């Protein structure tokens, strides 16, 4: 049987293709293991990191927080009686001493009431003396003498009441401080309980803030504290109060530091950076760049253990320094990873090189 020319051409082409792919398979068969070996080699290589040996040091431990200054006392000074303000001798913002008159009401008939009570007292005194003398001579009974004495006591009480009402026209400062705000001017009618103005005490001064629950247990009343105000001033004081009940919204504990402010240089309401001493403890000075976050979002450092495997330790920043940051949470000398810490995982074997 004789094939047609077109069939012969197709058969030749098919044969050539079979020979081509067969030869390629034989040639690639030797190269593929080599390529796979090259690809697997980087995965099996031990990564290299640079470490710095950080020794342990004993340092003063502190709790840092943001706070603000606050007046030790703030009192709205109110009128105890009714009347029209006749004098306002103190300008708001003035530093005053205890007992200074802040507002003076019109006396009106209060002085007349005192004079009348005084006259009634003198009359009652004469009646009591006369009754006592007549009783000594047998012309008055003990009951009449007791009645005269009661009238004398009532007259004395009436005089005292009139004198108090007269004194109440002077609305005075209850303590040394600053008359910070005036609410009543001359001509203002004040009823009992209405405000003359507000007094604040700035010496000593409070610095208040909120402490995270993880630090609250380490703070004690009386602990030394330092506050750096936004204006650059520094106040030294001590912890006066630490709350025992957390704020339900923020889960923080309220804290108060009391500090002397003799010249009233610091005002109320200023932002402050507060550092509170909580005793001495171990600390390590590490580069800022060595700080990393683990998978749980905790801040810490990765270091190399004795078996050259990577470990992670959560740390708390205690203080910033020109060479880095002082942290707590490590123990003893530690080989902290300074280069490559972001590319290795806990438990991984590494090659260790000294930091350059």
pLDDT in tens, 133-154: 888 888 888 898 899 999 999 9
How much is the average pLDDT of 2-7? Answer: 59
Mean pLDDT, the chain, integer: 88
Q: What is the pTM of this model?
A: 0.65
Q: Render pLDDT for 244-277 as a digit per residue (tens, 0 to 9).
A: 999 999 999 999 999 999 889 899 999 999 999 8
Give the domain CATH number at 213: 2.40.30.170
Question: Does position 2 have pLDDT exceeding 70, yes or no?
Answer: no
Q: Is the pLDDT of residue 31 over 70?
A: no
Is the pLDDT reported for residue 63 higher than 90? no
Q: 163 and 81 in one domain?
A: yes
Domain shared by 193 and 81, yes or no: yes
**pLDDT tens-place string over residues 98-128:** 999 999 999 988 999 999 999 999 999 999 9
Q: Look at residue 39 in the predicted model and tell me its pLDDT.
A: 46
Tell me which of 278, 294, 328 is where a domain ends: 278
Same domain, 151 and 83: yes
pLDDT of residue 5 exceeding 70: no
Q: In terms of residue numbers, what domain contains 26?
A: 1-39
Report the CATH number at residue 325. 2.40.420.20
CB contact at 8 A, 104 and 87: yes
Say if residue 208 is in the same domain as residue 191: no
Residue 314: the pLDDT is 93
The whole-number average pLDDT for the span 284-289 is 94
Number of independent structural domains in the chain: 4
So what's the pLDDT on residue 315?
A: 93
* Pair 301, 314: CB distance under 8 Å: no
- 316: confidence class by pLDDT, cuts 50, 70, 90: confident
Per-residue model confidence (pLDDT) at position 45: 77
More confident residue, 356 or 288: 288
Identify the domain boundary among 197, 220, 237: 197
Backbone angles phi, psi at 44, to 5 degrees: -90, -5
Mean pLDDT of 233-245: 94
Share of the chain above pLDDT 90, in %: 67
Read off the pLDDT of residues 172-231 as tens digits, 9 standing for 90 and up: 999 999 999 999 999 999 999 999 999 999 999 999 999 998 888 889 999 999 999 998
Task: Categorize the per-residue pLDDT at 40 as very low, low, confident or very high, splitting at 50, 70 and 90.
Answer: very low
């Amino acid at each position: 049987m004789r094939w047609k020319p077109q069939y012969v051409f197709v058969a030749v082409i098919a044969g050539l293709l079979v020979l081509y792919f067969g030869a390629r398979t034989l040639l690639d068969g030797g190269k593929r293991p080599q390529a796979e070996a090259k690809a697997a080699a980087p995965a099996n290589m031990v990564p290299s990191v640079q470490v710095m040996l950080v020794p342990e040091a004993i340092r003063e431990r502190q709790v840092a927080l943001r706070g603000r200054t606050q007046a030790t006392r703030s009192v709205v000074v109110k009128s105890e009686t009714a009347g029209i303000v006749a004098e306002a001798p103190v300008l708001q913002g003035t530093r005053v001493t205890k007992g200074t008159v802040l507002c003076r009401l019109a006396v009106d008939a209060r002085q007349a009431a005192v004079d009348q009570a005084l006259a009634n007292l003198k009359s009652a005194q004469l009646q009591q003396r006369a009754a006592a003398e007549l009783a000594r001579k047998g012309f008055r009974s003990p009951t009449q003498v007791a009645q005269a004495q009661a009238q004398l006591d009532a007259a004395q009480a009436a005089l005292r009441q009139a004198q108090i009402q007269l004194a109440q026209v002077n609305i005075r400062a209850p303590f040394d401080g600053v008359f910070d705000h005036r609410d009543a001017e001359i001509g203002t009618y004040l009823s009992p309980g209405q405000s003359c103005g507000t007094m604040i005490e700035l010496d000593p001064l409070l610095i208040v803030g909120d402490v995270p629950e993880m630090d609250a247990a380490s703070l004690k009343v009386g602990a030394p504290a330092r506050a750096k105000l936004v204006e650059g001033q520094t106040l030294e004081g001590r912890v006066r109060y630490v709350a025992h009940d957390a704020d339900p919204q923020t889960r923080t504990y309220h804290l108060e530091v009391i500090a002397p402010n003799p010249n009233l240089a610091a005002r109320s309401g200023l932002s402050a950076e507060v550092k509170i001493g909580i005793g001495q403890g171990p600390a390590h000075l590490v580069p800022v760049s060595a700080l990393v976050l683990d998978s749980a979002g905790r801040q810490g450092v990765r270091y190399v253990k004795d078996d050259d495997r990577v470990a992670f330790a959560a740390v708390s920043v205690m203080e910033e320094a020109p060479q880095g940051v002082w942290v707590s949470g490590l123990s003893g000398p530690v080989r902290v990873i300074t280069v490559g810490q972001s590319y290795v995982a806990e438990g991984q074997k590494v090659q260790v090189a000294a930091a350059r």
